[in-house]
Structure 1
């Protein structure tokens, strides 16, 4: 039996690559609408670009899923409320 996430929204931080990306893809395959949260910066926190998150969103959409990119920092309470 496969667990489904239909009619659910999943917010996955660090979803532009690695394990976060894999979790986001699997949640989408199981029916969740997924928010791809990724700062797009280097490991030390510098920089920032939305390209990685947008690529994952397009991959999910190409498989028939629903996703949106988000570049807000979850460490910044004010930014995470936007």
Structure 2
């Protein structure tokens, strides 16, 4: 059993800034995998839209704020 199996965040919403790349993107994806809906914010639209696609592939809903 992994850490994410013990830490379920279904029904929660996380706001992640800097989610276009790097640590922000990694955090958004980890939280999505844990069951969170994600509000992702970043400065560049193409990067944040790519993050949103990756989040949506994991199941939760995402909202992009460029």
What's the TM-score once normalised by structure 2's chain length?
0.85
Query: CA offsets per residue over residues 9-60 of structure 1, 9 Å max, x none?
Result: 10000000000000000000001000110012xxxxxxxxx11111010111
Aligned partner of 1:30 among 28, 34, 46: 34
Alpha-carbon distance in structure 2 between the residues aligned to 1:25 and 1:15: 9
Pick aligned residue for 1:56 from 51, 56, 65: 51
Number of aligned residue pairs:
62
Greater RCO (CA < 8 Å, at least 6 residues apart): 2
Larger C-alpha radius of gyration, 1 or 2? 1
What is the TM-score when the length of structure 1 is the normalising length?
0.70
**C-alpha RMSD over aligned residues:** 1.1
Within 1, Cα distance between the matches of 2:22 and 2:16? Answer: 12
Which ranges of structure 2 fall in alignment gaps of 5 or more residues?
none
Q: Is 1:12 aligned with 2:12?
A: no
4+ residue runs over 6 A deviation? none
